[in-house]
């Protein structure tokens, strides 16, 4: 056993001795140095080639092409050695065709030169869409309008027709490009996104009323007047002078007063308020009656305008007609202790002290 182990150990020592001699020989060292130098050179050349090929460490900033026309985007891209590739187009209502709406890489990012820039642009016309069917004469315009909005189609009321059996604004007819298409909806009538579809709808009560003149009226009076015309107050626009809406004056209305104009029953009038009476409004005639007149329930006597006959060369005097110095006549109101001066039309006939002819 010991002899076998000794032989194996001698063989291992001979192997390591010969290997050491080989590795330390001039031939091995020379070849190893050559292989090492060749490997280093190859690595350096490969790194240099890759650097030149990929422009390692160099980059260019990508322009922002969003909302640019396609032609302008191509010119800007070519100025930095980029190339443009249009990979998609979408139709957007209200957007001009061939506008960039999306790009990849993102704006202001940095990329290598000669990079391809992928763009999504707007289409000149979208794919046709099918208009929804009507539900047997019970379609409300507002609900149908929402359906059209989902497919990018606009809706507008182009006319009204009296029909007391249907709810207000029920669709009666559908019009597209001047043609009535109501009966074609069941066949899948198609329009392009962005199209305008018109509607004839029903109205109940019908009729129209003239436009009231609200200018110079106080807010309360204007509101009462609008109600009497079976109309409604729309927007109330106040200026900076408003401190009390109830006593404010209307200085503008929309629609404006027009003697020949008319509005449908139930429509709205927008009014503009200011706190003080506009300069172009006639002044109100206000009489300050004693409180006892109000408590006794006696109706006050208003001032009447004085109209003088220019051909009358002998106007009545104060003593003849019990007139006041300014031309009014003192008339005693029954059951009242206060005399109210009013202006009455002058005549050539004499009056007695009791005011009778």
Which DSSP string do the residues of 238-264 spell out, in sequence order?
Answer: E-TT-S-GGG-EEEEEESPP-TT-EEE
3 or 174, higher pLDDT: 174
8-state DSSP, 284: P
Q: 97 and 114 in one domain?
A: yes
Q: Which of 235, 225, 226, 231 has the alpha carbon at shortest distance from 267?
A: 231
Structural domain contains residue 355: yes
Q: 70 and 38 in one domain?
A: no
Given pLDDT bands bounded at 50, 70 and 90, which one contains residue 333?
Answer: very low
Number of domains in the chain: 5
**pLDDT tens across 139-194, in order?**
899 999 999 998 889 999 888 777 778 888 899 999 998 899 988 998 899 998 88
8-state DSSP, 185: G
**pLDDT tens across 200-231, in order?**
888 776 667 889 999 999 999 999 999 888 78
User: Which one of 203, 227, 262 terminates a domain?
Assistant: 203
Report residue 39 as tokens: 């490997």
Domain span including residue 343: 288-357
Structural domain contains residue 351: yes
Percent of the chain with pLDDT over 70: 76
Given pLDDT bands bounded at 50, 70 and 90, which one contains residue 97?
Answer: confident
What number of other Cβ atoms are within 10 A of residue 219's Cβ? 21
Give the range among 43-47, 90-94, 125-129 with minimum mean pLDDT.
Answer: 90-94
Q: Which of 1-5, 37-41, 208-212 has the highest mean pLDDT?
A: 37-41
pLDDT at 168: 85
350 or 108, higher pLDDT: 108
CA dist., res. 336 & res. 316, Å (int): 26
Structural domain contains residue 268: yes
Q: Which of 62, 128, 127, 131 has the alpha carbon at shortest distance from 89?
A: 127
Cβ-Cβ contacts under 8 Å for 222 (sequence gap 6 or more) = 214, 233, 250, 271
**Domain containing 90 — which CATH number?**
3.30.10.20
Q: 83 and 32 in one domain?
A: no
Structural domain contains residue 161: yes
User: Which one of 54, 74, 92 terminates a domain?
Assistant: 54
CA dihedral 107, 111, 115, 117 (to 10 degrees): -10
Q: What's the mean per-residue pLDDT of the chain?
A: 77
Q: Which of 53, 112, 103, 55 has the alpha carbon at shortest distance from 82?
A: 112
pLDDT at 206: 60
Task: Indicate the burial class of 211 (C-beta count within 10 angstroms; 0-12, 13-18, 19 or more).
Answer: buried
Structural domain contains residue 108: yes
Structural domain contains residue 338: yes
pLDDT at 15: 82
**pLDDT tens across 250-285, in order?**
999 999 999 888 888 778 899 999 999 998 887 754
Structural domain contains residue 280: no
What does pTM read for this prediction? 0.38
State yes or no: pLDDT of 294 exceeds 70: no
CA dist., res. 91 & res. 193, Å (int): 8
Exposure of 102 in the CB half-sphere (CA atoms within 13 A): 9
CA-to-CA dists, residue 168 to 33, 101, 164, 328, angstroms: 100, 42, 9, 57
pLDDT at 55: 59
State yes or no: pLDDT of 128 exceeds 50: yes
Report residue 230 as tokens: 């079976």
User: Which one of 203, 228, 257 terminates a domain?
Assistant: 203
H or E element at residue 192:
none
- Which residues lie across from 237 on neighbouring strands? 272
Given pLDDT bands bounded at 50, 70 and 90, which one contains residue 329?
Answer: very low
pLDDT at 57: 57
Are the CB atoms for 230 and 191 separated by under 8 Å?
no
Q: 215 and 199 in one domain?
A: no
pLDDT at 50: 76
CA dist., res. 294 & res. 280, Å (int): 32
Structural domain contains residue 283: no
- Which residues lie across from 250 on neighbouring strands? 273
């Amino acid at each position: 056993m010991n002899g076998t182990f000794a032989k194996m150990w001698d063989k291992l020592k001979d192997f390591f001795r010969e290997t050491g001699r080989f590795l330390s020989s001039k031939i091995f060292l020379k070849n190893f140095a050559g292989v090492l130098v060749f490997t280093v050179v190859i690595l350096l050349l490969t790194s240099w080639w890759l650097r030149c090929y990929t422009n390692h460490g160099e980059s260019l900033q990508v322009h922002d092409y969003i909302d640019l026309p396609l032609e302008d985007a191509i010119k800007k891209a070519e100025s930095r050695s980029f190339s443009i590739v249009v990979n998609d187009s979408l139709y957007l209502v209200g957007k001009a065709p061939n506008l960039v709406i999306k790009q990849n890489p993102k704006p202001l990012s940095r990329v290598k030169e000669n990079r391809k820039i992928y763009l999504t642009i707007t289409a000149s016309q979208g794919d046709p869409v099918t208009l929804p069917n009507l539900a047997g004469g019970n379609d409300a315009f507002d609900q149908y309008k929402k359906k059209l909005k989902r497919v990018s189609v606009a809706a507008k009321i182009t006319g009204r027709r009296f029909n007391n059996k249907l709810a207000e604004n029920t669709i009666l007819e559908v019009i597209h490009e001047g043609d009535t298409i109501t009966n074609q909806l069941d066949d899948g009538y198609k329009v392009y996104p962005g199209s305008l579809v018109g509607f004839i709808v029903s109205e109940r009560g019908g009729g129209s009323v003239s436009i009231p003149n609200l200018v110079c009226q106080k807010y309360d009076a204007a509101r009462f007047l609008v109600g009497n015309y079976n109309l409604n107050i729309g927007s109330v626009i106040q200026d900076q002078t408003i401190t009390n809406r109830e006593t404010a004056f209307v200085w503008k209305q929309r629609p404006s007063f027009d003697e020949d104009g008319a509005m449908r029953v139930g429509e709205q009038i927008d009014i503009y308020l200011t706190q003080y009476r506009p300069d172009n409004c006639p002044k109100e005639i206000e009489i300050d009656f004693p409180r006892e007149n109000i408590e006794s329930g006696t109706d006050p006597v208003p001032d009447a305008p004085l109209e003088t006959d220019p051909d009358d060369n002998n106007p009545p005097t104060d003593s003849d007609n019990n007139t006041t110095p300014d031309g009014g006549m003192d008339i005693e109101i029954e059951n009242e202790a206060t005399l109210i001066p009013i202006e009455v039309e002058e005549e050539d006939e004499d009056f007695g002290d009791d005011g009778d002819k």
